[in-house]
Amino acid sequence: MDDKFPFVKNKEKEELAFCQINSKSNSIWPLIMEKAWAKINNSYEDIIEGNVSDIFYFYTPCPIKIYHHDIKYNNLFEKIKNAIDNNFIVCIDINSQKENQLLHKLGVLSNHAYRIIGYGILLDSNGSIYNFI
């Protein structure tokens, strides 16, 4: 594997095409892991619509639990909360067109994997409770 990463020209400057470097840690590990996964799958294009669970299972044959957005799960928030409290790696990937429109407005990229790092509970002025991750 070489140390070359794909770039795109964006508004007169070049930026990394896919995974970005974390501005706080300056860690390049996500770029290296993504590049290795692209090499295994022949190209970056071949991993665009992949599933983050495939990657984790390949790198660390750890147990994987997959929840799909079309299925209603009892206590899904509690399951995610429990996983985070037990230091499990919890990830999501977004590829639904319906979700993309709303999330894009919030700055969330589609066809991209995210690690969930926390959760919370909000109580609004009407007394309604909202769980969020």
Neighbours of 37 (CB within 10 A): 18
130 and 97 both lie in a single domain: yes
* Local confidence band at 47 (pLDDT 50, 70, 90 cut-offs): confident
pLDDT of residue 105: 78
Closest by Cα among 80, 85, 82, 73 to 114 = 80
10 and 68 both lie in a single domain: no
67 and 31 both lie in a single domain: no
CA atoms within 13 Å, Cβ hemisphere of 55: 25
pLDDT digit string (tens) for 87-125?
A: 888 887 766 666 567 777 777 777 677 788 888 888 889
Query: What's the number of domains the chain is made of?
Result: 2
Domain that holds residue 27: 1-48
Q: Return all residues near 36 (Cβ < 8 A) that are at least 6 apart.
A: 1
The CA distance from 81 to 54, in Å, is 22
pLDDT digit string (tens) for 55-94?
A: 777 888 777 777 666 566 677 788 888 888 988 888 877 6
Mean predicted confidence (pLDDT) in 32-53: 82
The CA distance from 50 to 54, in Å, is 8
61 and 102 both lie in a single domain: yes
124 and 59 both lie in a single domain: yes
